[in-house]
Amino acid sequence: MTVVDADAHVDETEETWEHIPKGYERYKPFTVVQAIADEVSGQPKGYNRFWCIDGTFALRRIRNDERTRTVRETRELIDVGARLRHMDQLGIDSQVCYPTLFLMTPSEKPEAEYALTHAYNRWMGSKWAESKNRIRWVAMLPMLSPDKAIEEMRWARKNGACGISKKGIECGDRVASDPYFFPIYKEAEDLDLAVCIHVGNGRVEWMDTNVKHLSPWFFSLSAIDAFLSLTLANIPDKFPKLRFGIIEAMSSWIPYALSDLRARDERTQWLMPFNMKSNVLEEGNFYVGCQTVEDLPYIMKHAGDGCLVAGTDYTHADQSAEIETLNIIHNMGEEGYITQEQARKIREDNAMKLYGI
């Protein structure tokens, strides 16, 4: 079988923006650096390098090799061969890559969003080809331009993408169940692309240039909202072959969310009728990224063992980052903390099903 890193990342670089389409050059990001970071501002170290995009700023992170246990050549896919060799060292057969910049919303202008997502997708498609199918990726979509979004999906599917990125709340505070997204969901279902709801936010005024906007309210909770929103609106019934990933929001919220749904089923069907499944996650084709710090036996008691996936958060150095994640889970199975079969499902089967690998 294939060991899948279900949540790896790349750091965008100047090469990424060489793919900006003709006529959209004004939206090409460039780097601005403050020579000395202001310690009085309360911002963390490294918050002094930015992408300038159409006159606004987005954080371009400064990485620490020791902390991330990666190097620039692998983080930015400058040397794809080096990234593959590092994957081999970590026992990883395939990585599914998410972006860094696009976890936030760098622009609310449809034309700027299109230019940036188009460039990113072409860059990742070229790296996928170079990796000989080992580096898979999740496509960024110009959600403000639905026709262009579908064009991007079709191109991405032919060039190594195994999912599309979807914020929990975006496009003018639309929740994940908003009919605005139905054409996207239908196309994803037809193309066999997972809908991947990674932590992040859909408001340009909540950029991570302000570290406070990485708090759960601004950054993480919308992914959990998406699970509840999709379930309460019976979206899995409307698109029965579509797979959903809730990524990097941990999985300890699952017992809470299932309890919330049971309470709504028992008490408020008069207000918002929905089809309560006996196994909400499995029947709804939901997969959830778990982390090694969580009580996995307890979570699987509520969720079963067919929905959890795991990733290293490769390149990043936040609370979700653990580059040995897949090995730790393997050891959990060997040591009896979870069963070997459960460890195998988290490392292999479930991620392969989510991403169609």
- In angstroms, the CA 39 to CA 144 distance is 37
Here the tokens at position 306 are 């067919």
pLDDT at 37: 53
Query: Longest Cα pair distance anywhere in the chain, in angstroms?
Result: 59
C-alpha 348: how far from chain center:
18
pLDDT at 72: 98
pLDDT at 311: 98
- In angstroms, the CA 29 to CA 54 distance is 8
pLDDT tens-digit profile, the chain (357 residues): 799 999 999 999 999 999 999 999 999 999 999 866 555 556 677 788 999 999 999 999 999 999 999 999 999 999 999 999 999 999 999 999 999 999 999 999 999 999 999 999 999 999 999 999 999 999 999 999 999 999 999 999 999 999 999 999 999 999 999 999 999 999 999 999 999 999 999 888 888 888 888 888 888 999 999 999 999 999 999 999 999 999 999 999 999 999 999 999 999 999 999 999 999 999 999 999 999 999 999 999 999 999 999 999 999 999 999 999 999 999 999 999 999 999 999 999 999 999 999
In terms of C-beta distances under 8 Å and separation of at least 24 residues, what long-range contacts does 21-28 make, across chains too? 21/114, 21/115, 21/118, 21/119, 24/111, 24/112, 24/114, 24/115, 24/118, 26/54, 27/53, 27/54, 27/107, 27/109, 27/111, 27/112, 27/115, 27/116, 28/115
Q: Where are the beta strands (DSSP E) in the chain?
A: 4-9, 30-33, 49-53, 56-59, 94-98, 135-139, 161-165, 169-170, 174-175, 194-198, 244-247, 286-290, 308-310
Report the predicted TM-score, pTM, of the whole model to 2 decimal places.
0.96
- In angstroms, the CA 188 to CA 266 distance is 33
Which residue type, as a one-letter code, is found at position 136?
R
Superfamily of domain 4-10+72-355: Metal-dependent hydrolases (3.20.20.140)
The domain limits of the chain are: 4-10+72-355
**Bridging pattern class, strands 286-290 and 308-310:** parallel
